[in-house]
Structure 1
Amino acid sequence: MKKRTKSLVLLTASLCIFMTGCSKNTESTSATEKQETIQKTEQVTVSGTTEADKVITEEKTTAEESTENMTTEEVTTGSATEASDTITEQQALEAIKQYSYSKDPNLKDMENSDEYTIYWDVSTNENNEIVVLYRSYTAAEIRYYINPLSGETYITEFVQGITDEEQKTGESLNIRDYMD
């Protein structure tokens, strides 16, 4: 289900990029199409759901034809643009480390010494959020939940024996501010 949703989002984004590119090349055609769409919308308002179904079907057919007419290069370029805007797990991990080092300049030295048990882990959860786990030298487990598209991040903390479950800290950030 997740892959199907992700594929649908990528296809929709590719179509939007393609349609934007096509509209620049055929301004007179797009003006005509806009007028036809307005007329069809007015028909929908007057005629009810039967006309609405026809308009939706016509729009799907147009989108399908546009997709068939796209070259492999156009499809690849659209997907590459979408993918380059999405934050990867590795980028998220590095950005969170930069954020943590900026908050505690001694952390990097502590991490490199054998005196402290500090580690980092990164994964993606069922909500498609990137989760960076930082196990602090105090044994606190701090998790950063990151939206891979926007970079918006909220933070939770769990301390075994002290708290029963993860608790939001109320702190938030955008990791794009800490990406190189």
Structure 2
Amino acid sequence: MRLIGRNIFRFAACACIGTLLFSSCETDLKEVDRIAAIQAEEPVDISLHVTVVYSDSALVKAKMTAPEMRHYNVEKPYYEFQKGVTIVFFDENGVETQRITSNYAIQKEAEELTEFRDNVVITRADGSVIKTEEVIHDQKANTFYNHVPIEAQFKDGRGHIMGSSFHSDGNFEVIDVQHMTGVHVFLPGEGPAFR
């Protein structure tokens, strides 16, 4: 009788432990399925500490750096820079002409558009700085534009202008500012033309 009681107790203990182990395995399997479902919903490749060099006919045109780049492999693929991006542009002699930094950017491959958002700063080699919350680069037309207010400051404190939006050529040499206000003293041959 004692032997049977002990065996029943052992069987019951083993059954409880087995049930606990099985239920914990089931929870782990559910977690694996949940993670797999997320990855299936969002096909994304993530690269860290990214540097991309853009060149044409062996001449470096621009260099992009970002702490993180996400490439979404969807019907209309795109790149997203959730942690910010910096792009430096160069002339044919390899001299920096301007740079763009922003806290966020998205590059839409099919549309050939790059949108910079959140604390966008364009710094020109001549010392002028343009600040805004949005800049869109149309790669096909090689133009930059936005639909939100901008402000521009010039080196040596020689002026400051503001506007409701702008449109520019790809080199920021001719910048059309809508509803422009402010003052700037241009020297002959100086920097971009604001109008």
Report which of the two has the higher share of strand: 2
* Same fold (TM > 0.5): no
TM-score (norm 2): 0.30
TM-score (norm 1): 0.32
Report which of the two has the higher share of helix: 1
